[in-house]
Amino acid sequence: MQERITTAISEIGFLEWGNPQGRPILALHGWLDNASSFAPLANYFLNNGLDFHLIAIDFPGHAHSSWRPTRTVFSFIDYIADIKAVADHLQWDKFTILGHSMGGGLGSLFAGTFPDMIEKLILIEALGPVTREANEAPENLALAIQRFLDHSNKDPESAIFRSIDQLVKLRLRAGKMKDESARLLIERGTEVLEDGNLRLRRDPRLNLPSFLRLTEDQVIEFLKRIHVPSLLIWGDQGYQWEKKILEHRANAVANLKQITLAGNHHLHMDEPEAVGEQIVRFLRKD
């Protein structure tokens, strides 16, 4: 079942599982993914007796959520306001965040921004966002502005595809994952045109570089404000982080447990039983 939440900022598409009176969990997907990213985990929770209420959103510009207004840019940090707007709409004063990749980076920042709203924090393949050195900011901003202006001066074009199978093959080239996992993401992330062809639902501006990114010191200040029980799950074949940065970030989180499981960057989709077992155990531990 798919729905939309109307907030003061945007229309947010989402998927929902579980008991509306159960433990509230807000799931945040990765860049260019969508809410279907959490379907395998949600089904595992249902099959293993977890009392939960999971809302998995599509971030603006993805799948069934609205795009940002014309001639504006997507700013990574703006998604924090979208998360807050969704929580306010749901009237969730305290909830668990479940975030993968970009969603994990955003979940980390949200937990540091609104620490009193978070009950537990579950991160998959992410601890904070991508950063830039302060001395790189002017050059990166110049590049990002030029890319944005070049994009804005062009007539928007949308690539047309013949079938879901074609898009699944393209998605698998972008990163290792199981065929059925890629298909879940593609099916939600496309729309069928009148002629039967397919078009991606995502906003092409998502591929533009960010105007500004946080520095590493700024990210550490957010992470230092996280004091709730936190679980960080890595895939042994997932994205490779610079160890010095990761160690520094992990040490900043007061109550963090890290686990490495067999799998790639999308292990929560490919290996939902192994990942789900760890999450259920973590949620049931008071």
CATH superfamily of 2-128+137-159+211-284: Alpha/Beta hydrolase fold, catalytic domain (3.40.50.1820)
In whole angstroms, what is the distance from residue 169 CA to residue 172 CA? 5
Would you state the pLDDT for residue 157? Answer: 64
Determine the pLDDT at residue 5: 92
Q: Which residue matches tokens 């991160």?
A: 123
Taking the C-alpha atoms of residue 215 and residue 148, their distance in angstroms, rounded to an integer, is 22
Residue 161 DSSP SS3: strand
pTM greater than 0.75 (yes/no) = yes
Cβ neighbour number for residue 248 with a 10 Å cutoff: 14
Mean of pLDDT values over 254-262: 97
Q: What percent of the chain has pLDDT over 70?
A: 98
User: CA-CA-CA-CA torsion for 200, 201, 207, 208, nearest 10 degrees?
Assistant: 130
For residue range 265-281, what is the model confidence (pLDDT) as tens digits?
Answer: 999 999 999 999 999 99
Residues annotated as catalytic are 101
Averaged pLDDT, 66-76: 87
pLDDT value at position 156?
63
Residue 273: the pLDDT is 98
pLDDT at res. 155: 65
Q: What is the mean pLDDT of residues 92-106?
A: 98
Query: Exposed, middle or buried by CB within 10 Å (0-12, 13-18, 19+), for 85?
Result: middle
For residue 91, name the pLDDT band (cuts at 50, 70, 90): very high
- The predicted pLDDT at position 2 comes to 54
Tens digits of residue pLDDT in 18-36: 999 999 999 999 999 999 9
Q: Which amino acid is located at 245 in the chain? A: I
Please give the average per-residue pLDDT across 94-113, as a whole number: 98
Q: Quick: pLDDT tens for 189-202.
A: 999 998 989 999 99
Residue 286 pLDDT level (bands cut at 50, 70, 90): confident
pLDDT of 229 higher than 60: yes
R_g over Cα of the chain: 19
Q: What is the mean pLDDT of residues 44-66?
A: 96
From the CB of residue 71, how many other CB atoms can be counted at a distance below 10 Å?
A: 9
Sequence ranges of the domains in the chain:
2-128+137-159+211-284
Proportion of the chain above pLDDT 90, given as a percent: 87
Q: 12-16, 119-123, 202-206: which range is least confident on average? A: 202-206
In this model, does residue 131 exceed pLDDT 60?
yes
pLDDT single digits (tens) 152-197 = 887 666 789 989 999 999 999 988 999 999 999 999 999 999 898 9
pLDDT, position 73: 82
